[in-house]
């Protein structure tokens, strides 16, 4: 009976295949064979079709169960037959029993099928190294955090994003002035020339991202930008083995507001930058209309690392393509005040000596 | 024996404390050659001058002569010579202010010496002080005139003292604290790397802008005038000069 889950197995030895960031290929850990994505795609095309069919049949057959367990889905691992319990958006995971990477192709079909994917280019070890570099030169970081915090979990996740092209129609009016000063007898004369400045036109924004997963914190995903879109590939499930992946659960309409705010701010800033040569410039009227012209869905690579220290969880995220690491670090308030007073004390002493030598006389 | 030794030590300590006080108490600040004041008035003015001098480290002096020409070429020159001959002033720079009355014409000179005195008793301050005593001298009310001179000089010194005190607090505490705060807040900002995206400038397609309107239209011109503040005009017979040797002064008739 076809299962809803696909395990990508090595054609040579049937061991699990995983997508390796450094080579851009699917590699077998046991026999060392490596395969191009296109090769595996062709090999598993039929299996995937059957998995999608099985997924859709299951959905139609058990709508009641579907409604009852809205947050969870249960799959069967094709390798060891264990039950995989995942939430409803999971599209790729690994079997907790046999460790085989498992892909649910049915989750990424139809409207949920991404247009593009940026494959992982940095592996787990690089993510751990990047975290250690993130701690470096942070003088206010508690010393114990560096030594005591342990990586609780490290996950490579393909995060679904909406990439939107926006057309902005901007019409802004400003009141600008130029001033000059000259002297006439006992008076200082300030002459001000006033201008009515108008800028109206259109701007294009391309592939503005917004993460489409409610599980991912928006501020973390925004902070990981930019991704290099030149390395974006047409979507294939063959990139997913070895990583987690989710389908989107925030619709494009719900993401549009955030993207529009960003585009509006940038359009305003760009137009304002074209009004130059004035001593003062005040916006008096503004109309900015935004229209979404194109929309794509892409899976973008993110490493998520969580650590625990003194009962608190700390989340760090790394751009799986560029290596940019973000995550707020705890502050040692003892060090904060020690540095404050260590900076202030010598300056105060110097100022006191200066005042005693030169003050008042 | 031990008790006698400690008693002697205590007595020596008290003498050492008393010596500077004694030295201060014997300071003269009023030199009334023209005998405009009686003994009691002279003593009171001397005590008032001593009080302000000790409080603000700036000497306040009064001198009267029959004829300034016995001391100098003009009344201001005479005042400067008297200041130097009597070794007036406090500190290394001999900071102080002297009011000299010459009764023959009659003339007055109000001179300062030292950075502190010259800074506090600038031309404006000297003219204000002169205005306070000239009306008394016009009525031959010497005691009240000298009192007005001492009190207004003391006010100028106390205002400056307060300003200097506040300035000291700002320079010694507030400025270093501000610098230290900037340093630690900069370090703190490096601990935060997560923030919501507010801009999309990196996604703006270069060269995609198409202009419909790009107008800069001149509408009108406005003009505003401001009178330039002139230095305060010299009135009431005041003449001011900055002399050599660290003196500055104001002189006139009364």
Contact A344 B218 (CB under 8 A): no
Single pTM value for the model? 0.68
B225 CB neighbours in chain A (<8 A) are 187-190
Encode pLDDT of A306-329 as tens digits: 888 888 888 999 999 999 999 999
CA distance B101 to chain A (A): 28
Q: Is residue B115 part of a domain?
A: yes
CA distance B193 to chain A (A): 5
CB pairs under 8 A between A and B: 198
Contact A194 B212 (CB under 8 A): no
Average the pLDDT over each of A290-294, B102-106, B151-155, B166-170 and give the range with the smallest value.
B166-170
Residue that has been written with the tokens 């290099």 in this structure: A228
Nearest CB neighbour to A262, from listed B190, B198, B221: B198
Q: Is residue B26 part of a domain?
A: yes
Q: Is residue B217 part of a domain?
A: no
Residue in chain A nearest B198 by alpha carbon: A262
Residue in chain A nearest B120 by alpha carbon: A360
Mean pLDDT on A6-27: 83
Q: Which residues pair with A273 in a beta bridge?
A: none
Distance separating alpha carbons of residues A113 and A109, to the nearest angstrom: 4
Number of domains forming the structure of chain B: 1
Q: Is residue B228 part of a domain?
A: no
Interface test with A, best of B171, B197, B225 (most A CBs within 10 A): B197
CA distance B176 to chain A (A): 5
Average the pLDDT over each of A80-94, B37-51, B66-80, B194-208 and give the range with the smallest value.
A80-94
Q: Is residue B154 part of a domain?
A: yes
What pLDDT, on the 0 to 100 scale, is given for residue A59?
A: 72
Q: How would you label A278-302 residue by residue, b for 16+ Cβ within 10 Å and e otherwise? A: beeeeeeeeebebebeebbbbbbbb
Does B75 score more than 80 pLDDT? yes
Q: Which residues pair with B61 in a beta bridge?
A: B98
Mean pLDDT on B103-131: 90
Does B23 score more than 50 pLDDT? no
Mean pLDDT on A157-172: 96
Contact A200 B212 (CB under 8 A): yes
Structural domain that includes position B42: 16-163+241-253
What pLDDT, on the 0 to 100 scale, is given for residue A263?
A: 97
Q: Is residue B223 part of a domain?
A: no
Sheet of B239-242, strands arranged across: B30-32, B59-65, B96-102, B107-113, B247-253, B239-242
Residue in chain A nearest B225 by alpha carbon: A189
Nearest CB neighbour to A270, from listed B176, B204, B224: B204
Banded model confidence at residue B154, pLDDT cuts 50, 70, 90: very high
B226 CB neighbours in chain A (<8 A) are 187-188, 190
Q: Is residue B9 part of a domain?
A: no
Banded model confidence at residue A335, pLDDT cuts 50, 70, 90: very high
Residue in chain B nearest A182 by alpha carbon: B225
Encode pLDDT of B211-241 as tens digits: 999 999 999 999 998 888 765 444 344 566 6
What pLDDT, on the 0 to 100 scale, is given for residue A32?
A: 81
Does B22 score more than 50 pLDDT? no
A355 CB neighbours in chain B (<8 A) are 168, 171-172
Alpha-carbon B72 to chain mean position: 27
Encode pLDDT of A211-253 as tens digits: 999 889 999 999 999 999 999 999 988 898 889 998 888 999 9
What pLDDT, on the 0 to 100 scale, is given for residue A85?
A: 76
Distance separating alpha carbons of residues A97 and A80, to the nearest angstrom: 8
Mean pLDDT on B189-204: 94
Query: Would an 8 Å CB–CB cutoff place B173 in contact with chain A?
Result: yes
Residue B58: how many other CB atoms lie within 10 Å: 30
A218 CB neighbours in chain B (<8 A) are 196
CB contact at 8 A, A301 and A105? no
Residues 6 or more apart in contact with residue A147 via CB below 8 angstroms: none
Mean pLDDT on A334-357: 91
Alpha-carbon A16 to chain mean position: 28
Contact A202 B220 (CB under 8 A): no
CA distance B253 to chain A (A): 31
Contact B225 A189 (CB under 8 A): yes
Distance separating alpha carbons of residues A107 and B222, to the nearest angstrom: 68
Query: Would an 8 Å CB–CB cutoff place B3 in contact with chain A?
Result: no
CA distance B182 to chain A (A): 9
A207 CB neighbours in chain B (<8 A) are 203
CB contact at 8 A, A208 and A310? no
What pLDDT, on the 0 to 100 scale, is given for residue A118?
A: 96
**CATH assignment of the domain containing B125:** 3.10.310.50
Mean pLDDT on A18-40: 85
Mean pLDDT on B85-109: 92
Question: Is B199 strand, coil or helix?
Answer: coil
Contact A199 B95 (CB under 8 A): no
Nearest CB neighbour to B205, from listed A141, A199, A204: A204
Banded model confidence at residue A94, pLDDT cuts 50, 70, 90: confident
B182 CB neighbours in chain A (<8 A) are none
B197 CB neighbours in chain A (<8 A) are 222-223, 225, 258, 262
End-to-end CA distance of chain B: 68
Model ipTM?
0.81
Contact B213 A225 (CB under 8 A): no
The interface residues of chain B toward chain A in range 20-59, judged by CB-CB distance below 8 A, are: 57
Q: Is residue B49 part of a domain?
A: yes
H/E run at residue B108? strand B107-113
CA distance B4 to chain A (A): 41
Query: Would an 8 Å CB–CB cutoff place B236 in contact with chain A?
Result: no
DSSP string, B20-80: HHHHHHT---EEETT--S-HHHHHHHHHHHHHHHHHHT-EEEEEEES-GGGT-SSHHHHHH
What pLDDT, on the 0 to 100 scale, is given for residue B37?
A: 93
Contact B194 A219 (CB under 8 A): yes
Question: Is A354 strand, coil or helix?
Answer: helix
CB contact at 8 A, A296 and A105? no
**For chain B, what is the mean pLDDT?**
85
């Amino acid at each position: 009976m076809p299962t809803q889950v696909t395990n990508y197995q090595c054609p040579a030895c049937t061991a699990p295949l995983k997508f390796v960031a450094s080579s851009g290929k699917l590699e077998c850990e046991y026999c060392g064979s490596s395969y191009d994505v296109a090769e595996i795609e062709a090999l598993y095309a039929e299996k995937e079709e059957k998995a999608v069919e099985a997924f859709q049949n299951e959905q139609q057959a058990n709508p009641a169960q579907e409604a009852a367990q809205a947050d969870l889905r249960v799959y069967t691992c094709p390798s060891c037959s264990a039950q995989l319990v995942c939430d409803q958006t999971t599209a790729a995971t690994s079997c907790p029993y046999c460790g085989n990477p498992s892909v649910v192709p049915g989750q990424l079909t139809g409207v949920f099928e991404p247009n593009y994917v940026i494959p992982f280019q940095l592996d787990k070890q690089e993510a751990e190294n990047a975290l250690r570099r993130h701690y470096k030169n942070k003088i206010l970081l508690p010393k114990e955090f560096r030594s005591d915090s342990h990586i609780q979990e490290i996950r490579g996740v393909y995060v679904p994003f909406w990439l939107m092209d926006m057309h902005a129609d901007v019409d802004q009016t400003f009141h600008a002035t130029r001033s000059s000063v000259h002297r006439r007898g006992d008076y200082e004369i300030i002459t001000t020339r006033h201008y009515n400045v108008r800028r109206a036109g259109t701007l294009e924004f391309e592939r503005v991202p917004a993460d489409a997963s409610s599980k991912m914190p928006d501020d973390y995903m925004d902070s990981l930008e930019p991704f290099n879109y030149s390395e974006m590939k047409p979507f294939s499930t063959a990139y997913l083995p070895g990583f987690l992946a989710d389908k989107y659960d925030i619709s494009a309409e719900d993401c549009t507001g955030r993207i529009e705010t960003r585009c509006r701010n940038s359009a305003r800033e760009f137009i304002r930058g074209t009004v130059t040569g004035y001593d003062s410039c005040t916006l008096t009227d503004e109309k900015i209309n935004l229209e979404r012209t194109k929309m794509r869905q892409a899976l973008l690579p993110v490493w998520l690392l969580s650590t625990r220290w003194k009962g608190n969880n700390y989340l760090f995220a790394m751009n799986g393509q560029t290596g940019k690491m973000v995550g707020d670090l705890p502050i040692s308030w003892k060090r904060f005040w020690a540095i404050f007073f260590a900076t202030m004390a010598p300056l105060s002493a110097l100022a006191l000596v200066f005042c005693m030598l030169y003050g008042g006389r | 024996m031990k008790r006698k030794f400690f008693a002697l030590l205590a007595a020596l300590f008290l003498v050492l404390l008393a010596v500077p006080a004694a030295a201060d108490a014997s300071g003269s600040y009023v030199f009334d050659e023209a005998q405009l004041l009686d003994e009691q008035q002279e003593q009171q003015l001397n005590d008032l001058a001593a009080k302000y001098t000790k409080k603000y480290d700036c000497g306040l002096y009064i001198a009267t002569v029959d004829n300034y020409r016995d001391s100098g070429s003009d009344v201001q020159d005479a005042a400067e010579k008297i200041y130097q001959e009597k070794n007036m002033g406090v500190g290394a720079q001999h900071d102080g202010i002297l009011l000299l009355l010459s009764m023959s014409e009659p003339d007055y000179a109000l001179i300062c010496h030292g950075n502190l005195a010259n800074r506090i008793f600038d031309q404006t301050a000297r003219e204000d002080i002169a205005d306070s005593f000239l009306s008394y001298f016009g009525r031959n009310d010497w005691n009240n005139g000298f009192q007005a001179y001492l009190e207004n000089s003391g006010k100028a010194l106390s205002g400056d003292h307060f300003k200097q005190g506040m300035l000291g607090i700002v320079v010694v505490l507030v400025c270093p604290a501000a610098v230290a705060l900037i340093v630690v807040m900069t370090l703190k900002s490096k601990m935060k790397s997560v923030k919501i995206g507010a801009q999309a400038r990196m996604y703006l397609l270069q060269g995609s802008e198409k202009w419909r309107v790009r107008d800069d239209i001149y509408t009108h011109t406005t003009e505003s005038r401001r009178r330039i503040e002139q230095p305060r005009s010299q009135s009431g017979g005041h003449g001011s000069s900055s002399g050599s040797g660290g003196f500055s002064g104001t002189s006139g008739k009364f």
